[in-house]
Structure 1
């Protein structure tokens, strides 16, 4: 037995280095079970699942880039844009090539435009939201609290007026009108 003490305020911890390894539930030696365990291999999907990333709200959503379905209206396919009626039809090759060119141009133009605009717009919106958050935290909320503190007497007076004058009036009016019954009959 070996005693380990760490720091002055910490508790004493005992480590038993001499005891034999106990057998597991199925009768095998734990050391043998440990050797049989398959090695843990991180998948590409689980790269971002460390303890720090799980806590973070900025974890990249690679598989679900629109989790709140904000852009459902932009789910455009070739058939949504171009459709030939039965009476007029172009050749099959024209249809196949136009479909292929539509898809390729849609994907690649989106990629090019997003490369050119995504990073600058991300920086601009990040700065904008940071400024708005800072203004809200350091200016708007304190001003609102100052106004609320200064008008606490007005809030109390208003609640008294509502409870003493307005509430009894509407309660009695509701009870008076509650006795009316309307019956609709078809002729």
Structure 2
């Protein structure tokens, strides 16, 4: 069974766009600074509520949501394995017959006409 990495929880960086650190969300440019005590308390309040809200949300809903996503991906895999891939293979087999018919018709009907016109234009160019 696979082990879960509790340190690096996004090893494939699929959520790099979710920057939720204080410095990534709030910033005061030069010339407009709040009081230092307000800035420090804002940082403390932001990080505390961010962590607390996230932890409570994951505690209440995370396991159920993970189970739902597992069911969704299992269903997707099931449909691909048992319906979509065999259906695409069947289309590929049947379309190869249609391709052969198309090639035969073109070879019998169009190719002689094209060769004849090619010969006519070839001789016209020599005159």
State TM-score, norm by structure 1: 0.49
Moved beyond 4 Å, runs of 4+: 157-162
Relative contact order, higher structure (CA 8 A, sep 6+)? 2
Tell me what 1:89 maps to. 33
- The residue that corresponds to 1:109 in the other structure is 53
Question: Is it true that 1:80 corresponds to 2:17 in the alignment?
Answer: no
Work out whether 1:71 is the aligned partner of 2:12.
no
Q: Which has the higher helix share?
A: 2
1:142-181 matched pairs, under 5 angstroms: 142-157=86-101
| Larger Rg computed on CA atoms | 1
Consecutive unaligned residues in structure 2, runs of 5 or more: 112-127
Aligned counterparts of 1:120 and 1:130: Cα–Cα separation in 2: 15
5+ long unaligned stretches in structure 1: 1-52, 166-187
Aligned length: 108
CA RMSD of aligned residues (A): 2.6
TM (normalized to structure 2)?
A: 0.68
User: Structure 1, residues 24-83: CA drift from partner, whole Å, max 9, x if none?
Assistant: xxxxxxxxxxxxxxxxxxxxxxxxxxxxx4xxxx43122221111111111232223222
